[in-house]
Structure 1
């Protein structure tokens, strides 16, 4: 990965309260969320390998102790979202949490065979201790229940996460969505036989995301969700899905007419 791209993704941003006890502790181009459950902290995603110290500094600047982080939830086994997971788990004692396929990628520290981006190559620090969760499984910690949602497509192990945050009697449903971009290395074809499970995965993800309670959307890359670091406009999750549907339709058309790379 180019150093310029890494600098762009890791552009410093101050921690920001989202709603209730949920906070952004990530960067200009990569989202990382902190949830205070009252009985421990939860992180969602971990950005690039070199991002771990800055994430922990942001946690501390909010007045929290990184050693209170109990879980680190993973959206996908890619270096830009899981690269820092091994260091964060080591430094905090937290347990990594992922889907079964996501866990395979985290343990390998590399793209899996069915990943559309596999030909990019590259590797990231392996994660060895992982709690595997299934679609619909709920992680309960303190006052917070976080639901795992399988959202395959970008990778077959992608997982999104939702929870409720409250301020007094006002509560909002927050969704941290995995990447839905149909992005691949050159030469990959979604229209080839090997791409059929990926397309089925995207279709299942679209159905799920369309039906989620979603007052606030956080996407793994903030700019995919709209302007700003998160999207709290009505229909944010459905808009996110529509964007992916359009990109995938264009990609499939380009493959069929021979203009895809």
Structure 2
């Protein structure tokens, strides 16, 4: 599933294509995503895009009459077309832009979604989310105070969007390794100094991942078709039965809440 760095790169790319442009109309090939594509999106006609931004893993298009909120699910992706072409097996919809560019959305597993909101409903939908991990609101005091109240593993805490957004499985694993913290530790047992280290590690990992256009493990590709290059720099994620790059001992793999966790029992405690 695309996480914050992957979505940030996609948003940066399509912002340059869409900002202050006109969506002439949409073409729907398959609206059977996680939820049906709303009527308002199907009927778009000559509407200007005033902003393109990210909140957590959501891509948000601000239009004159409302907001489109997009989630890529497990396998959602965009690509640019410069001429009309037939839809492929997994293609779902096109945004036809006044510049002559077509933005095509594809999703082979159909877990992504496109939703339509007015401002009030959009705010209600997004206000349930925790702070952005790269913002000033996500700091050691915030993390320490909130973890005192939560009796769950620190990895599960980091992946809960009510507490902090955008930190998916890849970056939770990597940030905990960089911090020297076991993913199975209870969040309420993480001390203040560890919270300082963990916050700094999360921010550094995410910024480096953004720099390298995210992480491609299987499906993720940038809009230009290139893979995310941060996979070259992974220290633990996906390295089952391999040696720790720091201490040369065998990495441990377990399942936590149906997700893969990778760690070093010598470098993390």
Which TM-score tier does this pair reach, normalised by the shorter chain? under 0.3
In the superposition, the TM-score normalised over structure 2's length comes to: 0.26
Point out the structure with max Rg over C-alpha.
2
- Higher helix fraction (1 or 2): 1
- Larger RCO, structure (CA 8 Å, separation 6 or more): 2
